[in-house]
């Protein structure tokens, strides 16, 4: 059994479909932000957010993005 026998097939497949996978993941991210995150923020804060709260949310989102990128 040769473990490297089909690696060229997987590599070519990934290269061919990488842009589509990236587009799909970006669309899913934007859908999640629009449908889940923004409504929750609005629900939590009926009043306007302060600059400090926005900065805190931004830093948490940056950390989550970094964690997800590490996971991928």
Rounded to two decimals, the pTM is 0.41
In the predicted model, is pLDDT for residue 66 greater than 70?
yes
In the predicted model, is pLDDT for residue 18 greater than 80?
yes
For residues 51 and 1, what is the distance between their CA atoms, to the nearest angstrom? 60
Helix (H) or strand (E) holding 27: helix 7-32
The pLDDT assigned to 45 comes to: 62
Residue with tokens 């993005």: 65
The pLDDT assigned to 6 comes to: 66
Q: What is the dihedral of CA 21, 22, 23, 26, to 10 degrees?
A: 120
The pLDDT assigned to 56 comes to: 92
The pLDDT assigned to 57 comes to: 92
Mean pLDDT of 22-31: 89
Neighbours of 41 (CB within 10 A): 14
Residue 10, both tokens: 């997987």
């Amino acid at each position: 059994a040769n473990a490297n026998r089909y690696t060229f097939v997987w590599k070519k497949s990934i290269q061919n479909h990488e842009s589509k996978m990236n587009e799909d993941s970006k669309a899913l991210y934007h859908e999640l932000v629009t449908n889940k995150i923004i409504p929750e923020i609005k629900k939590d804060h009926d009043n306007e957010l302060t600059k400090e709260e926005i900065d805190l949310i931004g830093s948490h989102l940056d950390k989550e993005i970094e964690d997800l990128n590490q996971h991928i």
